Amino acid sequence: MSPSILVVEDEAALLTLLRYNLEKQGFTVDEATDGQEALLRIAENKPDLVLLDWMLPSLSGIEVCRQIRRRPATRDLPVIMVTARTEDADAVRALDTGADDYIAKPFAVDALLARIRALLRRAATVPDKGTLAFGDLSMDQDAHRVTRAGRALHLGPTEYRLLEHFLAHPRRVFSREQLLDAVWGRDIHVELRTVDVHIRRLRKAINGEGEADLIRTVRSAGYALDVD
């Protein structure tokens, strides 16, 4: 399977050039032209690597990168930041927010391809994230598969990230605000009741008939992965 790359770039000419060159090298290319769209594309269809322009409309590349790192499901997603600046301070800032590498515009396509290949090689040697489990619920993070009592469950991406967060901290109670920060990212404006909607969906997805409800609602506190 050819690695997929999400190119986030608001300059149409550069986007076309990058897509052409990456596809020529056998990569599958997806694109987004602003920061919000980038986060949506990543949530819908996680790429193998993100090529992220710094200067973007709606949400800067730096902010997109922070949010990618904050979410459990994309914490390890390889990111190369494309900066229009050459100052070292900017490069440091890009790396500080969690980018794995950066390249300054204007760049030679060959140099970029070399960095992409190097980063994909590094990502491929990262040890497996493994399996999270609670009771008869199990999440294989590498295969992105969730089962309960051996039965495959089908979760949407948000429900998946919610469950991943709960599984990483079983029995701990999280407020809606904490769940928003952990799963959606601190800077996205989402109403608190959105959390309730996704908790409802998560319950529906993981609790089969006659099975114990694994999500505990703690009045005026929040939610926990727990059984009574």
Shorter beta-carbon distance to Ca ion: residue 31 or 196:
31
Tell me the closest approach of the beta carbon of residue 60 to Ca ion, in angstroms.
Answer: 9
Residue 145 gets the label, from left (phi > 0), alpha (psi -120 to 50) or beta, of: beta
Shorter beta-carbon distance to Ca ion: residue 55 or 109:
55
Tell me the closest approach of the beta carbon of residue 186 to Ca ion, in angstroms.
Answer: 23
Q: Provide the CB-side half-sphere exposure for 74 (13 A, CA).
A: 32
Shorter beta-carbon distance to Ca ion: residue 85 or 117:
85
Shorter beta-carbon distance to Ca ion: residue 8 or 137:
8
CA distance 27 to 192: 39
Tell me the closest approach of the beta carbon of residue 61 to Ca ion, in angstroms.
Answer: 8
Tell me the closest approach of the beta carbon of residue 147 to Ca ion, in angstroms.
Answer: 42
Tell me the closest approach of the beta carbon of residue 55 to Ca ion, in angstroms.
Answer: 4
Q: Running DSSP on this structure, what letter comes out for residue 181?
A: I
Residue 10 engages Ca ion in binding (rule: CB under 5 A): yes
Shorter beta-carbon distance to Ca ion: residue 90 or 211:
90
H helices of the chain, in order, are: 12-24, 35-44, 61-70, 88-96, 109-124, 157-168, 176-179, 192-206
Q: Give the one residue of 55, 112, 113, 188 binding Ca ion; rule: CB under 5 A.
A: 55
Q: Are strands 215-218 and 151-153 parallel, antiparallel or unpaired?
A: unpaired
Of 101-140, which residues contact Ca ion (CB under 5 A)? none
Residue nearest to Ca ion (CB): 55
Contact stretch for Ca ion (CB under 5 A) within 46-54, 122-130, 145-153, 191-199: 46-54
Residue 37 engages Ca ion in binding (rule: CB under 5 A): no
Residue 53 engages Ca ion in binding (rule: CB under 5 A): yes
User: Any idea which residue has 């727990």 for tokens?
Assistant: 226
Shorter beta-carbon distance to Ca ion: residue 21 or 178:
21
Binding interface with Ca ion (CB under 5 A): 10, 53, 55
